[in-house]
């Protein structure tokens, strides 16, 4: 018998992949198409990716940002969730944010302590949920926020740039956090990592006209390569996503290549009462996403969304028909911040007693929407 420890690590991972694929019921002939982009992905990450490919045919997993940390009029109550308050179930996907970790802040930009976040991530993973993490990193050239672009920022952190070494120290901190995310048995928890999101918008220093397509691709490839090969982080699925886009060319303009991406997504919010315009826009963009994700053999996702919940039937009357038309792995609603310091009242899923709560229950009961109890039957990490 050949000792596995004497074989190259990537080869051993491929052997594990074939074993895992056999357990998922997927044909061995599909083994290459269901493997993650990381050749050295952990067995649990390989399993998750394979199961996600399979689940697309069953329905759309519904997620929520910061779901376990706080909601409308509550914060840090054990086991609580606005979605759970309304449905008696948890979301299938749990979104988290690590902006601030690069500065050694004890809390992220939404004031969630990183220590608490680790606990919530473990809790969701133990249920069989899926974790996705975004990173609103500060501007490494100016020290200001992610929303304050400055010329040459991306160029400054690429290899040879004056801030390149500084940027790698940030990646070291991200790697340290990811490496700390472990299950009760000590296994690394697979994560969907969503760096440099909304990349076609001008509001972030990495987005839109703030860098060239070539610079963005170099930044993306360097970041993922550094985490994989310098820091040996192999439990990530990588999500690429834009904001609203005009067409296929804009969506793919900064695409870094299939070897650096597992999920292709987009973010969209209905900011006003233009119901028909929202439906026209989201259906047009998801049709494009359907096509490019299938062509590149990537998981399609609505990586952030928010609706206009002044419509009491928004969930079944507006959003559900959209989901029924398109092929999506998951849809992540943004956070329920409640009343913020500036007086704004922000929430993206209903809380108990909210005007769309009853409609959300109907949305929850539809066979196409998948929540935590649906995932409990899937054993995603085996």
Per residue of the chain (382 residues), what is the pLDDT tens digit? 344 444 454 544 555 555 555 555 544 433 446 799 999 999 999 999 999 999 999 999 999 999 999 999 999 999 999 999 999 999 999 999 999 999 999 999 999 999 999 999 999 999 999 999 999 999 999 999 999 999 999 999 999 999 999 999 999 999 999 999 999 999 999 999 999 999 999 999 999 999 999 999 999 999 999 999 999 999 999 999 999 999 999 999 999 999 999 999 999 999 887 889 999 999 999 999 999 999 999 999 999 999 999 999 999 999 999 999 999 999 999 999 998 888 889 999 999 999 999 999 999 999 999 999 999 988 899 8
Residues paired with residue 95 on neighbouring β-strands, in sequence order: 65, 132
Tens of pLDDT, residues 225-260: 999 999 999 999 999 999 999 999 999 999 999 999
DSSP β-ladder status, 70-71 and 74-75 = antiparallel
- Which of 91, 89, 94, 85 has its CA nearest to residue 122? 94
Task: Give the model's pLDDT for residue 60.
Answer: 98
Residues paired with residue 263 on neighbouring β-strands, in sequence order: 239, 299
Q: Go through the chain and tell me how many residues it has.
A: 382
- Token digits of residue 215: 């610079």
Any idea which fold 54-375 has?
Answer: TIM Barrel (3.20.20)
CB–CB of 204/149 below 8 Å? yes
pTM: 0.92
Q: How far is CA 78 from CA 171, 230, 317, in A?
A: 31, 37, 33
3-state secondary structure of 192: strand
Residues 6 or more apart whose Cβ sits within 8 Å of residue 215: 154, 155, 158
Task: Give the model's pLDDT for residue 1.
Answer: 36
Task: Give the model's pLDDT for residue 18.
Answer: 52
Burial class (CB in 10 A: 0-12, 13-18, 19+), 161: middle
Q: Which DSSP symbol is given to 107?
A: B
CB–CB of 64/333 below 8 Å? yes
Give percent helix, percent strand, percent coil of the chain, each to the nearest 5.
40, 15, 45
Residue for token digits 């793919």? 252
Task: Give the model's pLDDT for residue 33.
Answer: 61
Helix (H) or strand (E) holding 303: strand 299-306
Task: Give the model's pLDDT for residue 23.
Answer: 54
Give per-residue burial for 18-36: e unless 16+ CB within 10 Å, then b. Answer: eebbeebebeeeebeebbb
CB–CB of 219/159 below 8 Å? no
| Count of helix runs (H) and strand runs (E) in the chain | 12, 13
CB–CB of 305/345 below 8 Å? no
């Amino acid at each position: 018998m050949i000792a596995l420890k004497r074989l190259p690590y990537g080869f051993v991972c491929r052997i594990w992949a074939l074993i895992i694929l056999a357990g998922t019921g997927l044909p061995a002939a599909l083994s290459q198409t269901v493997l993650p982009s990381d050749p050295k992905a952990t067995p649990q990450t390989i399993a998750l990716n394979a199961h996600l490919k399979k689940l697309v045919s069953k329905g759309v997993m519904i997620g929520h940002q910061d779901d376990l940390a706080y909601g409308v009029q509550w914060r840090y109550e054990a086991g609580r969730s606005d979605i759970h308050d309304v449905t008696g179930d948890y979301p299938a996907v749990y979104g988290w944010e690590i902006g601030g970790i690069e500065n050694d802040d004890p809390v992220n930009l939404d004031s969630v302590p990183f220590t608490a976040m680790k606990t919530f991530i473990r809790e969701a993973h133990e249920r069989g949920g899926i974790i996705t993490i975004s990173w609103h990193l500060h501007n490494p050239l100016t020290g200001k926020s992610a929303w304050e672009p400055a010329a040459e920022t991306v160029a400054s952190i690429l290899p040879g740039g004056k801030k390149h070494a500084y940027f790698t120290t940030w990646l070291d901190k991200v790697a340290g956090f990811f490496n700390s995310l472990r299950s009760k048995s000590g296994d690394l928890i697979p994560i969907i990592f969503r760096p440099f999101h909304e990349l076609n918008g001008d509001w972030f220093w990495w987005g839109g006209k703030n860098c060239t397509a070539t610079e963005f691709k170099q930044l993306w490839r360097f970041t993922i390569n550094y985490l994989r090969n310098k820091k040996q982080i192999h439990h990530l699925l990588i999500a690429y996503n834009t904001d609203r886009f005009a067409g296929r060319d804009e969506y793919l303009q900064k695409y870094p290549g299939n070897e650096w991406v597992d999920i292709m997504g987009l973010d969209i919010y209905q900011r006003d009462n233009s119901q028909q315009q929202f439906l026209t826009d989201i259906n047009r963009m998801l049709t494009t996403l359907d096509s490019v994700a299938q062509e590149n053999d990537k998981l399609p996702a609505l990586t952030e969304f928010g609706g206009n919940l002044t419509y009491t039937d928004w969930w079944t009357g507006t959003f559900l028909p959209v989901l029924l038309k398109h092929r999506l792995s998951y849809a992540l609603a943004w956070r329920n911040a409640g009343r913020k310091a500036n007086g704004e009242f922000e929430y993206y899923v209903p809380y108990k007693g909210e005007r769309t709560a009853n409609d959300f229950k109907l949305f929850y009961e539809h066979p196409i929407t998948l929540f935590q109890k649906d995932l409990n039957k899937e054993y995603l990490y085996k």
